[in-house]
Amino acid sequence: MIEKEKMLAGELYIASDEELKKQLQIAKDLCYEYNQMKPSNLRKRKEIMKKILGKTKEKFLIEQPFICDYGWNIEIGENFYANHNLVILDCNKVIFGDNVLIGPNCSFYTVGHPIDPMQRKQGYEYAKPIQIGNDVWIGGNVVILPGVKIGNRCVIGAGSVVTKEIPDDCIAVGNPCKIVKRIKD
């Protein structure tokens, strides 16, 4: 397998692979262009964001600045809103459902490094997908770690570090993030 295939399969891969570096640079240049635009130029901002992201619906807004690794691994649903300073390290899939609200200074990290220091020295990384359900509100300064799935209709409290799955209909907060309440109809 080539390094990109290993990356998407969640296996150890060499991040400094030439093809990955080329694709990374394309996304970084597009993010730079997006972040330098006038905030009032919503039409052009949307055009650039559609070039960056792998899949979008029609109604979305991502405030500047925005940073990602590749972009093509990110899918956003309808009625998506992300406040300032969204960071998505998308070495694997990051999929957001419909009606998702993300507070400022939030980070989604699919990538991690091996525990073994020799593997780290050799440049190995791994990446696990992140999935966010429909009707989710993520408060400011939240960090979502590799492999996390957040269910539908959840609220993640500000400042949380989400290290494991949060099922549907939960309010969860803290570091590490824990369920504090089930949402009832």
CA separation for the pair 101, 10 (Å, rounded): 27
Task: Name the strand (E) or helix (H) holding 96.
Answer: strand 94-96
Pairing of β 107-109 and β 143-144? parallel
Instruction: Select which of 28, 46, 93, 113 is catalytic.
Output: 113
Non-local CB neighbours of 21 within 8 Å, separated by 6+ positions: none
The CA-based diameter of the chain, rounded to the nearest angstrom, is: 51
Respond yes or no: is residue 113 known to be catalytic. yes
**16 HSE (CA, 13 A, CB side):** 5
CA separation for the pair 170, 181 (Å, rounded): 6
Active site (catalytic) residues? 113
